[in-house]
Amino acid sequence: MSIQSQLVQTAQRAYREKMFAATSGNLSVFDRESGKIYITPGSFPYEKMTPEDIMAIDLDGNILEGKHSPSSEWRMHAAIYRADKCVNAIVHTHSPYATAFAVVHRPIPPVLIETQIFLNGGVECAEYATPGTFAVGENAVPCLKDGRGGCLLNNHGALAVGKDLNEARTRAQYIEDSARIYHYALQIGEPVVLAKL
Protein backbone atom coordinates (compact mmCIF):
# COMPACT_ATOMS: atom_id res chain seq x y z
CA MET A 1 0.00 0.00 0.00
CA SER A 2 1.32 3.46 -0.88
CA ILE A 3 2.13 6.04 1.79
CA GLN A 4 -0.72 8.16 0.47
CA SER A 5 -3.20 5.29 0.82
CA GLN A 6 -1.97 4.54 4.33
CA LEU A 7 -2.44 8.17 5.34
CA VAL A 8 -5.98 8.32 3.97
CA GLN A 9 -6.95 5.00 5.58
CA THR A 10 -5.52 6.05 8.95
CA ALA A 11 -7.02 9.55 8.81
CA GLN A 12 -10.47 8.25 7.95
CA ARG A 13 -10.32 5.65 10.71
CA ALA A 14 -9.30 8.32 13.24
CA TYR A 15 -12.11 10.55 12.00
CA ARG A 16 -14.65 7.75 12.48
CA GLU A 17 -13.25 7.18 15.99
CA LYS A 18 -13.86 10.91 16.71
CA MET A 19 -10.18 11.65 17.27
CA PHE A 20 -10.88 14.96 15.55
CA ALA A 21 -13.91 16.82 14.20
CA ALA A 22 -14.63 18.41 10.81
CA THR A 23 -11.27 19.10 9.15
CA SER A 24 -9.17 19.49 12.31
CA GLY A 25 -6.19 17.26 13.04
CA ASN A 26 -3.49 16.19 10.60
CA LEU A 27 -1.23 13.24 9.84
CA SER A 28 2.07 12.88 8.06
CA VAL A 29 4.81 10.44 7.12
CA PHE A 30 8.40 11.54 6.47
CA ASP A 31 10.30 9.58 3.83
CA ARG A 32 13.80 10.47 4.95
CA GLU A 33 15.39 8.93 1.86
CA SER A 34 13.56 11.23 -0.55
CA GLY A 35 13.19 14.13 1.89
CA LYS A 36 9.42 14.21 1.28
CA ILE A 37 6.84 14.79 3.96
CA TYR A 38 3.53 13.23 2.90
CA ILE A 39 0.83 15.14 4.75
CA THR A 40 -2.94 15.51 4.77
CA PRO A 41 -4.25 18.60 2.97
CA GLY A 42 -5.54 21.61 4.85
CA SER A 43 -9.28 22.14 5.41
CA PHE A 44 -10.27 19.08 3.41
CA PRO A 45 -13.12 16.74 4.50
CA TYR A 46 -11.76 13.36 5.64
CA GLU A 47 -14.76 11.44 4.35
CA LYS A 48 -13.99 12.68 0.81
CA MET A 49 -10.21 12.29 0.96
CA THR A 50 -8.45 10.02 -1.53
CA PRO A 51 -4.76 9.17 -1.96
CA GLU A 52 -4.57 11.78 -4.73
CA ASP A 53 -5.42 14.49 -2.18
CA ILE A 54 -2.34 13.80 -0.02
CA MET A 55 0.33 16.48 -0.37
CA ALA A 56 4.11 16.01 -0.55
CA ILE A 57 6.31 18.84 0.69
CA ASP A 58 9.90 19.27 1.81
CA LEU A 59 11.04 20.40 5.26
CA ASP A 60 10.77 24.03 4.14
CA GLY A 61 7.17 23.65 3.02
CA ASN A 62 7.83 23.67 -0.71
CA ILE A 63 5.10 21.71 -2.51
CA LEU A 64 6.55 18.73 -4.37
CA GLU A 65 3.36 16.84 -5.21
CA GLY A 66 -0.37 17.43 -4.92
CA LYS A 67 -3.15 19.75 -5.96
CA HIS A 68 -4.08 21.30 -2.60
CA SER A 69 -2.37 23.22 0.18
CA PRO A 70 -0.73 21.11 2.88
CA SER A 71 -2.12 21.13 6.40
CA SER A 72 -1.61 24.49 8.09
CA GLU A 73 0.34 22.57 10.75
CA TRP A 74 3.07 21.44 8.32
CA ARG A 75 5.58 23.58 10.23
CA MET A 76 4.90 21.62 13.42
CA HIS A 77 5.56 18.36 11.58
CA ALA A 78 8.74 19.70 9.95
CA ALA A 79 10.11 20.99 13.27
CA ILE A 80 9.69 17.58 14.90
CA TYR A 81 11.17 15.67 11.95
CA ARG A 82 14.19 17.99 12.01
CA ALA A 83 14.69 17.55 15.75
CA ASP A 84 14.19 13.80 16.13
CA LYS A 85 15.69 11.41 13.58
CA CYS A 86 13.75 8.49 15.08
CA VAL A 87 10.37 10.02 14.20
CA ASN A 88 9.01 9.18 10.75
CA ALA A 89 5.27 9.65 11.34
CA ILE A 90 3.06 12.08 13.24
CA VAL A 91 -0.62 11.92 14.18
CA HIS A 92 -2.04 15.16 15.56
CA THR A 93 -5.54 14.82 17.02
CA HIS A 94 -8.10 16.89 18.86
CA SER A 95 -9.39 13.82 20.72
CA PRO A 96 -11.77 15.08 23.43
CA TYR A 97 -10.36 13.63 26.65
CA ALA A 98 -6.72 14.35 25.82
CA THR A 99 -7.60 17.83 24.58
CA ALA A 100 -9.54 18.52 27.78
CA PHE A 101 -6.35 17.89 29.78
CA ALA A 102 -4.43 20.07 27.32
CA VAL A 103 -6.92 22.89 27.90
CA VAL A 104 -6.28 22.84 31.66
CA HIS A 105 -2.52 22.27 31.15
CA ARG A 106 -2.58 19.04 33.14
CA PRO A 107 -0.27 16.18 32.12
CA ILE A 108 -1.48 12.59 32.14
CA PRO A 109 0.64 10.47 34.49
CA PRO A 110 1.41 6.80 33.75
CA VAL A 111 -1.57 5.24 35.51
CA LEU A 112 -1.93 2.35 33.01
CA ILE A 113 0.64 -0.26 32.01
CA GLU A 114 -0.15 0.60 28.38
CA THR A 115 1.02 4.15 29.03
CA GLN A 116 4.36 2.79 30.15
CA ILE A 117 4.71 0.29 27.31
CA PHE A 118 3.40 2.29 24.35
CA LEU A 119 4.18 5.86 25.40
CA ASN A 120 7.30 5.25 27.53
CA GLY A 121 5.84 7.08 30.51
CA GLY A 122 3.31 9.83 31.12
CA VAL A 123 2.04 12.38 28.64
CA GLU A 124 3.51 15.82 29.26
CA CYS A 125 2.14 19.22 28.27
CA ALA A 126 3.90 21.31 25.65
CA GLU A 127 3.79 25.06 26.10
CA TYR A 128 1.19 26.80 23.97
CA ALA A 129 2.19 28.29 20.64
CA THR A 130 0.08 29.82 17.89
CA PRO A 131 -1.21 27.06 15.60
CA GLY A 132 0.48 26.94 12.23
CA THR A 133 3.88 28.07 13.52
CA PHE A 134 7.16 26.20 13.87
CA ALA A 135 6.95 26.93 17.61
CA VAL A 136 4.16 24.36 18.03
CA GLY A 137 6.58 21.60 17.04
CA GLU A 138 9.57 23.15 18.74
CA ASN A 139 7.66 23.35 22.04
CA ALA A 140 6.65 19.69 21.69
CA VAL A 141 10.20 18.40 21.15
CA PRO A 142 11.28 18.54 24.84
CA CYS A 143 8.16 16.55 25.80
CA LEU A 144 9.17 13.78 23.38
CA LYS A 145 12.62 13.23 24.90
CA ASP A 146 13.68 9.79 26.11
CA GLY A 147 11.54 8.10 23.49
CA ARG A 148 8.21 9.46 24.72
CA GLY A 149 5.45 8.54 22.30
CA GLY A 150 3.51 11.77 22.40
CA CYS A 151 2.43 14.84 24.31
CA LEU A 152 -0.39 17.28 24.85
CA LEU A 153 -0.34 20.64 23.09
CA ASN A 154 -1.68 23.16 25.58
CA ASN A 155 -5.04 24.64 24.53
CA HIS A 156 -4.78 22.77 21.24
CA GLY A 157 -4.84 18.98 21.18
CA ALA A 158 -2.63 15.90 21.30
CA LEU A 159 0.38 14.77 19.33
CA ALA A 160 1.65 11.23 18.78
CA VAL A 161 4.85 10.23 17.00
CA GLY A 162 6.34 6.96 15.82
CA LYS A 163 8.88 5.21 13.68
CA ASP A 164 6.00 4.55 11.27
CA LEU A 165 2.36 5.51 10.84
CA ASN A 166 1.00 2.44 12.62
CA GLU A 167 3.04 3.18 15.73
CA ALA A 168 2.03 6.85 15.74
CA ARG A 169 -1.65 5.93 15.30
CA THR A 170 -1.50 3.36 18.11
CA ARG A 171 0.13 5.90 20.40
CA ALA A 172 -2.54 8.49 19.59
CA GLN A 173 -5.18 5.96 20.62
CA TYR A 174 -3.40 5.20 23.89
CA ILE A 175 -3.03 8.90 24.69
CA GLU A 176 -6.80 9.31 24.38
CA ASP A 177 -7.52 6.08 26.28
CA SER A 178 -5.16 7.09 29.11
CA ALA A 179 -6.80 10.51 29.29
CA ARG A 180 -10.27 8.97 29.43
CA ILE A 181 -9.39 6.47 32.16
CA TYR A 182 -7.49 9.11 34.16
CA HIS A 183 -10.49 11.43 33.92
CA TYR A 184 -12.83 8.71 35.24
CA ALA A 185 -10.39 7.78 38.01
CA LEU A 186 -10.20 11.38 39.20
CA GLN A 187 -13.97 11.29 39.79
CA ILE A 188 -13.53 8.36 42.18
CA GLY A 189 -10.38 9.21 44.11
CA GLU A 190 -6.67 9.80 43.77
CA PRO A 191 -5.22 7.78 40.87
CA VAL A 192 -2.16 5.68 41.69
CA VAL A 193 0.76 6.40 39.40
CA LEU A 194 2.83 3.42 38.25
CA ALA A 195 6.55 3.32 38.88
CA LYS A 196 8.82 3.50 35.85
CA LEU A 197 9.32 0.10 34.21
* Residues 6 or more apart in contact with residue 161 via CB below 8 angstroms: 80, 84, 87, 89, 90, 91, 144, 149, 150, 168, 171
- Catalytic machinery residues: 73
Question: Alpha-carbon torsion 5, 175, 93, 125, what sign?
Answer: negative
152 phi-psi bin (left φ>0, alpha ψ -120 to 50, beta other): beta
